[in-house]
Amino acid sequence: MHAYSLNLRGTLMPLDRPRLMAVVNCTPDSFYAGGRNGSVDLAIRAWDAGADLVDVGGQSTRPGAEPVGAAEEWRRLQPVLEGLLAVRPEARVSVDTYRAEVARRAVEAGAVLVNDVSGGALDPELWPVVADAGVPYVLTHLQGTPETMQDRPTYSDVVADVHLALGTRLHQAREAGLGDILIDVGFGFGKTLEQNYALLAALESFHILGAPLLVGVSRKSMVYKALGTGPEAALNGTTALHAWALDRGAHFLRVHDVEAAREVLTLFHQFHPAPLPGPWPA
C-alpha cells in the first residue's frame, strides 16, 4: 500500500511519516494567549523550528467567536503570510479560513493549502475557489457555527455521526473538483469533553474514508478542562494526546508548540518506523 502525498503547487509532500502544521493566529481573541496576535517573527520561528506547514489565520474559531468579515480577516493575516514568504521563500504556508475571498487572496499571495473548519458549509463559493486553485484542502467536521457550536452539541453516536458526515462531505468535495483532501474530525468544534475523547479513541476507524487525517487538539479545552487547568498549562497534556493520535495513524498534527511536537514525532518514529496508513485498498 503506497503512502498518501500532497501536491503543494507542484511540490509533492509524502505523508509516509507524520507532519506538523504550526498555528499562527493573527487574531486578538484566540482561546490561547500564546497564540494571539501572530507576527511575522512567530511564523518564521515556527518554520525554522521544523514545521512542515505554517497555518496563518485571521478569524478566531474559538467557541463563541464573533465573525469579523473577509476584509478584516485578510487585513490581519496578509502581512504575516507575505512577510514570512518574503524572508523564507521556501516556506509552505496554509491559510486557515472558511471564506472564499480570503482563500483566493491567500493562494494568490503564495499559500499552498486551505484549512477550512466548516467543511465548506459556511461559504458555498469556497470549494470552487479551492478547486480552481488546485491546492490541497482540509475538510473539518463542525456542528453548527463557531458562535453556536458548543451550545449543547448532540449526537446519536458521535463516532458514527461524524464518520457519516465526513464521508458525505468528502464525496461531495471530490465531486466538486477538489483534489488532495485531508479530513479532520473537528476536536472541540461542536463536541463535549466526552465526545472528543470518544473520537480520539476511534480515530483509527476514520482511515476507511480514504483520506489522510489531520488532528488539532493543541491546548484545547479537551486537554485543560480534563486536567482542571487552562490553555497556558496544557502543553504536557497536549503532548500526551499527540502521542495517542499518532499511535492511531494521524498524518498531520496542528500545533502551537512546534519544538515539543517535533520531539513527539522523533520518538514516535523510533518505535514505529513503518510508513503511515495510505489509501484504503479498493
Q: What is the 3-state secondary structure (H, E, C) of 199-222?
A: HHHCHHHHHHHCCCEEECCCCCHH
Phi then psi dihedrals of residue 161, to 5 deg: -65, -45
Predicted confidence (pLDDT) at residue 1 exceeds the cutoff of 60: no
Among candidates 81, 84, 32, 55, which has minimal Cα distance to 214? 55
* Residue spans per domain, the chain: 17-271
Strand, coil or helix: 21: strand
Predicted confidence (pLDDT) at residue 106 exceeds the cutoff of 50: yes
The pLDDT of residue 151: 64
Among candidates 85, 165, 181, which has minimal Cα distance to 130? 181
Q: What mean pLDDT is reported for the chain?
A: 92
Q: Read off the pLDDT of each residue in 226-244 and give the average, rounded to a whole number.
A: 97
The pLDDT of residue 146: 64
Residue 148: pLDDT band by 50, 70, 90 thresholds? low
Give the integer Cα–Cα distance in Å for 15 and 177.
Answer: 22
Active site residues: 220, 254
Phi then psi dihedrals of residue 12, to 5 deg: -85, 130
**Cross-strand pairs, 116:** 139
Query: HEC string of 238-268?
Result: HHHHHHHHHHCCCCEEEECCHHHHHHHHHHH
Predicted confidence (pLDDT) at residue 281 exceeds the cutoff of 70: no
pLDDT by residue (tens digit) across 52-104?
999 999 987 767 667 789 999 999 999 999 999 999 999 999 999 999 999 99
Predicted confidence (pLDDT) at residue 256 exceeds the cutoff of 50: yes
Are the beta carbons of 108 and 100 closer than 8 angstroms?
A: no
Q: Determine the residue type at 227.
A: L
> How many residues appear in the chain?
282
Are the beta carbons of 73 and 112 closer than 8 angstroms?
A: no
What letter would DSSP give residue 35?
G
Cβ neighbors of 6 (< 8 A, separation 6 or more) are 12, 13, 15, 113, 136, 180, 182, 212
Predicted confidence (pLDDT) at residue 31 exceeds the cutoff of 90: no
Predicted confidence (pLDDT) at residue 174 exceeds the cutoff of 90: yes
Give the integer Cα–Cα distance in Å for 216 and 107.
Answer: 22
- CB half-sphere exposure, 72, CA atoms < 13 A: 8
**CATH, domain range 17-271:** 3.20.20.20
Task: Work out the angle between the directed axes of helices 193-201 and 158-175 (0-180°, nearest 10).
Answer: 70
Which residue is it, cell 511540490? 11
Tell me which of 75-79, 140-144, 224-228 is least confident: 140-144
Give the integer Cα–Cα distance in Å for 115 and 54.
Answer: 11
The pLDDT of residue 273: 87
The pLDDT of residue 65: 66
Phi then psi dihedrals of residue 53, to 5 deg: -140, 145
Residue 127: pLDDT band by 50, 70, 90 thresholds? very high
The pLDDT of residue 66: 74
- Which is it for the CA torsion 224, 81, 38, 236, positive or negative? positive
Residue 32: pLDDT band by 50, 70, 90 thresholds? very low
DSSP for 154-195, written as a single string: --SSHHHHHHHHHHHHHHHHHHTT--SEEEE--TTSS--HHH
Predicted confidence (pLDDT) at residue 282 exceeds the cutoff of 50: no
Strand, coil or helix: 24: strand
Predicted model pTM: 0.93
